[in-house]
Amino acid sequence: MDSHGKTEQVKDRYPRLKEDDIFESCPVCRRNCNCPACLRSDALIKEMKQKAKTKDEHVEFSVYLLQTLLPHLRLLDEEQMIEKETKAKIQGEEVINKRVNQTESNDFAEPVVREWSRFGWHGESNGRIPCPKVSDECNHGFLELRSVLGQNFITDLLCKANELAQRHELGTLDNFCTCSRLDRKTDVRYHGMRKAASRAYSSDNYLYCPRAVQPQDEDLGHFRWHWKNGEPIIVSHAIDSTSGLSWEPSVMSRALCQIAKRQHLDMKAINCLDFCEVQIKIHEFFTGYKEGRVDCFGQPRMLKLKDWPSTNLLEECLPRHCAEFISSLPFKEYTDPFGGCLNLAVKLPEECLKPDLGPKTYIAYGFPHELGCGDSVTKLHCDMSDAVNVLTHIAEVKLEVTGIENLKEKQQDVPKLQEYLRKHFREFRHIDCRPLKQFEVFGRQYLLYMDNVSAELRVIHPIHDQTFYLTMEHKRKLKEEYGIEPWTFIQKLGEAVFIPAGCPHQVRNLKSCNKVAMDFVSPESVFNRGISYTSNKSWVC
């Protein structure tokens, strides 16, 4: 290999190291070696987990959790009291220590009644619920209310929380942020803000965009305020503080190719034109990632991988890359999967079945111009948990960017977005550029059928089904007809983007890119958006 070839190989494997730097100190001494053995080393991951076990949690974070979640714990207790009263009526017992008056009781009972009616349950006057007839084998009995955690678990927990609240004299959460006082007519780049919309008479056209390098103590306060309001947050230079491990596809695939299990050499990709799976070799996919692919009509062929390697193998197959990603995450109080003080998923007991929060890789081709059909996109959708994703690598292009269009609207605007999608559903292209023929919201089942002439798609929900992608023209009409304009911004290489739970958003790749994402559960979202979104989604399951 000539000197030029060696230089290019060094650049791919160690993108942040110059040739002179390697002469001074080799990658092994820098703890940044990319040989297969080092790439498969899990020493850093084990070190992170051990450090999380021994780390002392600051009292201020626990107080903040208590302050944020206590009102919702009180609501849960009140709802449980309604259920206890219902059970007492069924058993003919007198309700003792009734904690709410009749008006409040009716208010709290409404969600429970809605839950019953949704499943076809109709309570009798005394509160008994007849078992709905599912089959002829049903004995037509009555459903019983049973407590999983014990009759007084929530009440006892609330008493302990109230005692702690009195001891620490909880105040009120901040209702403003210094960012909101900035003059929007001036250049705000140096104030950690980025313009993402041009809504008239709106104070939220700018998104909070701090630097990850040398974060200040007040940055966490800024983050909390914007996060509580359901705003996306962009953190620049997220990977600058890491060791510089290469996310070059050839480096990642080389680590996997050393594994004896040959099934990892084949992968399933998604063709963005028809959203069908295609079987492809690792090296073939990544060749197209860097050089591009075209179909038989000369059009760019967009392929994407999702959750590669599979989520349960990422730490096993690519432990160094997994550790590198975790070390790049800003605001670790929220995002650390092992010891985040404000990440409620970390606080689940060991014996609990924990959700799959990642990390996950999203590797896809991209194209700078909007094709309108077959674009490399993630369609309009909502996530049940909070998410942070870092753009770790792009192909060698002039503009090192990927496009993210975050369609988070105010809560009252989401129904307008759904109404727009229902009205204009025939203009959207889902499979092979064929239009949607019929659209149903909150239908009973999801039907997908094709005939010899055309495809007809029945959709239960315009957002949760991940069926639509809004092009520039669609967004223009959305603004004209409903006054809704999404936040639209460019995610640059090395930036971390935070998306709150329940936030409608979509993504289009402008270039081939590798994005790594991690989910977390923040106290601000678990009730304010998480529970309401889960309840909403249950309507369409």
According to CATH, what is the number of the domain 219-408+486-538?
Answer: 2.60.120.650
Please, what are the averages of pLDDT over each run of 10 residues along the chain (541 residues)? 52 63 63 74 84 73 87 86 75 50 43 53 64 61 71 88 82 62 49 80 83 75 87 90 83 67 68 84 85 77 77 76 92 92 88 83 85 74 88 69 48 60 56 33 23 39 73 82 83 91 85 90 74 41 27
Q: Is the peptide bond before 249 cis (omega within 30 degrees of 0)?
A: no
SS3 325: helix
At residue 58's C-alpha, the angle toward residues 53 and 61, to 5°, is 110
The answer to whether 462 and 441 are in contact (CB under 8 A) is yes
Task: Report the alpha-carbon distance of residue 368 to residue 484 in Å, rounded.
Answer: 25
Tokens encoding 354: 């924990």
Q: What is the pLDDT of residue 328?
A: 93
Helices 472-482, 414-423: inter-axial angle, 10-degree rounding: 120
- For the chain, domain boundaries: 59-168, 219-408+486-538
Q: Give CA–CA dist 109/81, Å, rounded.
A: 10
Q: Which helix (H) or strand (E) holds 144?
A: none
Say how far apart CA 511 and CA 491 lie, in whole Å: 11
Q: How far apart are CA 245 and CA 239, in angstroms?
A: 10
Neighbours of 254 (CB within 10 A): 17
Tell me what pLDDT residue 416 has: 65
Which DSSP letter does residue 233 get?
Answer: E
Give the model's pLDDT for residue 366: 85
Strand partners, 195: 206
**CA atoms of 445 and 304, how far apart (whole Å):** 28
The per-residue pLDDT for 259 is 53
Question: Taking every pair of C-alpha atoms in the chain, what is the biggest distance, in angstroms?
Answer: 90
Q: What pLDDT shows up at residue 540?
A: 31
Q: Report residue 85 as tokens.
A: 């009263």
